[in-house]
Every structure is written in structure tokens, then in C-alpha cells.
């Protein structure tokens, strides 16, 4: 009976130890499962936080790209406005130059007309003077011719007179 008691006590102690080991193993399994759930939840929370961070980065990137696009459009609009203003100024300058050219051409034409008119008057005056000089020369030539004719006539009359005297003296 004592052996039996010792055997039962040994089995009882062994069973208690076995129960303690099993309880410890069960506790370890529960802790591992709890730790697994905690890690799973922490991973899910990290994934949610990562996705939220990525979504925020995406929103910031979109906002930055939107602002950058707006800035580029404003720069493009400003450049277009400058080009339009420069073209308008160039056209205004070209129009003013064209008006100046037209004014210069009309001034030159008026100057040329005045010059032609003056040259015409000078030419007319020269022609009148030349005609006057020619007329005076003709008058002088006529007078000279008349004098020559009168001289020839006088010479002829003298020669005739001399011939008549010579005849009479003979």
C-alpha cells in the first residue's frame, strides 16, 4: 500500500507537474496568440497609417503640381501678354514710321513741285532774257547791216561820183 501510495503520490505530483507544464504551454500559446493579434493589429494600424501618409503625400503632390501648373499658366499668360503688348507697340511704331514716311514723301513731292516750279520760272526767265538778247543782237545786226548797206551805197555812190568826175575831166 505504501508503494501504491507513493506511486499515486508520484503520479499525482507528475500529473500536477504535467498540468502545470500544460497550463504553462497553454499560457504561452495564449500569450503567443495575444502577441500575434497585437502584432497583426499593430501591422494593420501601421498599414493604415502608411496608406494615410501615402494619401497625404499624394494630396500634397497634387496640390504642389496644381500650384506649379497654375504658376506656369500665369507665367505663360504674362509672356503672352508681353508679346501682345510688344506687338502692339511695334505696330504702333510701324504705323508712326509709315505716317512719317508718307509725310516725308509728301514733303519731298511738295519740295520737288516747288523746285520744278522755280526751275520752270528760271527757265522762262532765262528764255525771255535769251530772247531779249537775241532780239537786241538782231537789232544790232540789222543796224550793222543797214550801216554796211549804207556804207556800200556810199562807197558805190563815191565810186560813181569818181567815175563821173573822171569822165567829165576828160
Q: Digits of tens for pLDDT over the chain (170 positions)?
A: 788 888 888 888 888 999 999 999 999 999 999 999 999 999 999 999 999 999 999 999 999 999 999 999 999 999 999 999 999 999 999 999 999 999 999 999 999 999 999 999 999 999 999 999 999 999 999 999 999 999 999 999 999 999 988 888 76
Query: How much is the pLDDT for 169?
Result: 79
- Quote the DSSP letter at residue 49: H
Maximum alpha-carbon separation in the chain: 239
Q: What is the DSSP string of 111-127?
A: HHHHHHHHHHHHHHHHH
Query: How much is the pLDDT for 117?
Result: 95
Evaluate if pTM is beyond 0.85.
Answer: no
| CA–CA gap between residue 46 and residue 53 (Å, rounded) | 10
Cell numbers standing for residue 109: 513731292
Amino acid at each position: 500500500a505504501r508503494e501504491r501510495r507513493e506511486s499515486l503520490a508520484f503520479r499525482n505530483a507528475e500529473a500536477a507537474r504535467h498540468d502545470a507544464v500544460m497550463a504553462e504551454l497553454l499560457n504561452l500559446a495564449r500569450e503567443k496568440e495575444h502577441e500575434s493579434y497585437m502584432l497583426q493589429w499593430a501591422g494593420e494600424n501601421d498599414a493604415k497609417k502608411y496608406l494615410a501618409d501615402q494619401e497625404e503625400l499624394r494630396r500634397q503632390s497634387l496640390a504642389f503640381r496644381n500650384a506649379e501648373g497654375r504658376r506656369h499658366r500665369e507665367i505663360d499668360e504674362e509672356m503672352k501678354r508681353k508679346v501682345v503688348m510688344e506687338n502692339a507697340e511695334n505696330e504702333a511704331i510701324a504705323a508712326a514710321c509709315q505716317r512719317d514716311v508718307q509725310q516725308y514723301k509728301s514733303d519731298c513731292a511738295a519740295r520737288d513741285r516747288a523746285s520744278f516750279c522755280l526751275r520752270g520760272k528760271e527757265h522762262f526767265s532765262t528764255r525771255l532774257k535769251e530772247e531779249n538778247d537775241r532780239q537786241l543782237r538782231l537789232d544790232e545786226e540789222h543796224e550793222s547791216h543797214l550801216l554796211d548797206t549804207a556804207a556800200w551805197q556810199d562807197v558805190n555812190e563815191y565810186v560813181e561820183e569818181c567815175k563821173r568826175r573822171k569822165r567829165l575831166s576828160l
